[in-house]
Amino acid sequence: MSLSLVHSRALLGLDARPVCVEVHLANGLPSFTLVGLADTEVKEARERVRSAIQNAGLEFPGNKRITVNLAPADLPKDSGRFDLPIALGILAASGQIDARKLEGYEFAGELSLGGELRPVRGALAMSLAIARPARAAHQKMPRLVLPNGSAQEAALVPDAEIYGAHHLLDVVRQFLPGDAAPEPGDGWARMASSVPLQQPVYADLADVKGQSAARRALEIAAAGGHSVLMVGSPGSGKSMLAQRFAGLLPAMTTEEALESAAVASLGGRFTLEQWAVRPTCAPHHTASAVALVGGGSPPRPGGHKQS
């Protein structure tokens, strides 16, 4: 079979849109073309995928004209998350794995030159995007395959079927031609869908001495669900009070915790210790109003401060 389809996801803000990775092998001058509004990181997948397949002991069809299309063509794609689906698409199109077994799965993961899978940001957002429509339509959820470093956070979504893999070969073994069921190995496992049970810890408002008017305003705002705007000279205690405001609010629901964690995951900053902890952001005092609401260039991992 010279044509294969592999499903993945592209991040568009907090939404993870479905992407179909189409791979076609044809006779002609050897080439590797990647189309579909791909960013620079995605175009560089050609070299990573080629080296990963060869170093994993698999056959790269270097004598073929390889065309990879990331559909839909008008959806921007970035990061190295498409390395794994592109590699699987090439292996399926060349007959090294069974393309039919890929149905019902979605894949995302960056490949090293040796074939190891590296974590990708936005894994939780992808898991949420898969689970919500399936749950609303009472359908079976697609299975999501991720690197081990990303699968754990994606498994926080209730009822999600998440598989973690360490190496490209661990994924390939699950989809080899034939009817024999693959045996789970050390590098391939289904992640248990479990939510951390630890209680979030916040700074205590009781530590603040004085500031009676400000403390009462925060208590009233927390009780009524109101917003608060604090104005004052530097050093008057605004940040200190804001850091303790989260401790007055009720515990986050599971849906709120998932959305908050998904936002942190988009920047690659989420850890399990942050689960259900209300975030407190500390933008620089020179930040403009446009910057505060997310204008300008898209944020990059580590590009802003959060406490």
Position 15: which residue type?
D
At 36-76, the pLDDT tens digits run 999 999 999 999 999 999 999 999 999 999 999 999 999 99
Is 42 exposed, middle or buried (CB count within 10 Å of its CB: 0-12, 13-18, 19+)?
buried
Residue 58: left if φ>0, alpha if ψ -120 to 50, beta else—which one? Answer: beta
Degrees (nearest 5) of the Cα angle 163, 32, 72? 60
At 15-46, the pLDDT tens digits run 999 999 999 999 999 999 999 999 999 999 99
How is residue 279 written in tokens? 């975030």
- 296 or 231, higher pLDDT: 231
Q: Is 135's pLDDT higher than 70?
A: yes
**Residue 98 binned pLDDT confidence (cut-offs 50, 70, 90):** very high
Count Cβ neighbours within 10 Å for each residue of 177-216 and write b for 16 or more, e otherwise: eeeeeeeeeebbbebeeeeeeeebebbebeebeeeeebbe
Domains and CATH numbers, the chain: 3-190 (3.30.230.10), 205-292 (no CATH)
**Are 164 and 148 within 8 A, CB to CB?**
yes
At 150-206, the pLDDT tens digits run 998 899 998 889 999 999 999 999 999 987 767 667 789 999 877 777 788 888 998
Q: Is 307's pLDDT higher than 70?
A: no
At 241-254, the pLDDT tens digits run 998 998 999 989 88
Q: CA 93: distance to chain centroid?
A: 27
Element (H, E) at 67: strand 65-71
